[in-house]
Copies of this chain bind each other. A is one copy, B any other.
Amino acid sequence: MLDDSLALLARTPAALDALLRGLPDRWVHHNEGGDTWTAFDIVGHLIFAEHADWMPRARMILDHGESRPFEPFDRFAQFKESQGKTLDQLLDEFALVRKENLAVLRAMNLQPADLDRRGTHPTLGSVTLAQLLSTWAVHDLTHLHQLSRVMSHQYRDAVGPWSAYLGVLHCNGRGG
């Protein structure tokens, strides 16, 4: 299962790059209204998670087990971190930091006994390293899911009566 996660995690930056690089602003810099996120915000969030979430938490589990809870994750850090950057810069940065993290993860040569080790999530409680790494992969997918919904929202009216057939326009799976 770790190999399956790695295969997916390695592909996400190139998939987002192929989808988003050079796209018109309509798709990249518009959200779903209010304080929701744009495609640009989503890529920034994925970058911040590479720095602050997955690998620091994996290390915390291996070094401290359940004795020290993970640092809480700032879901809004990208609004500051992405300031003044272009989408192309964020796509480059995501590809680089993901590649570095996966190289470190592979070098850890994690064994089944490592994957069963437990840490403490600040709100969810006891979790395993295997669950953390699986969540890393699904976190990519949940933001791909969000991204497709945010982009679709920009054409909500343009599709006219076809709206009834387009599941993405009726999704209530909000949030990351």
Give A residues with C-beta under 8 Å from B. 1, 3-4, 7-8, 11-12, 14-20, 22-24, 26-27, 121, 124-125, 127-128, 130-132, 134-135, 137-139, 141-142, 144-149, 151-152, 155, 158-162, 164-176
* Contact (Cβ within 8 A) A149 B145: yes
Nearest-Cβ distance from residue A122 to partner chain B, whole angstroms: 12
Number of copies of this chain in the oligomer? 2
* Contact (Cβ within 8 A) B175 A167: yes
Tell me if A's interface is mostly helix, strand, loop or mixed: helix
Whose C-beta in chain B lies nearest to the C-beta of A130?
Answer: B158
Nearest-Cβ distance from residue A71 to partner chain B, whole angstroms: 16
Chain B residues lying within 8 Å of A158, measured Cβ to Cβ, are 1, 130-131, 134, 138
List, sorted by A's number, 15 A–B pairs whose CB atoms are closer than 8 Å. A3-B24, A8-B151, A14-B19, A124-B165, A131-B159, A135-B159, A138-B168, A142-B167, A142-B168, A145-B149, A146-B168, A165-B175, A168-B173, A170-B173, A171-B172
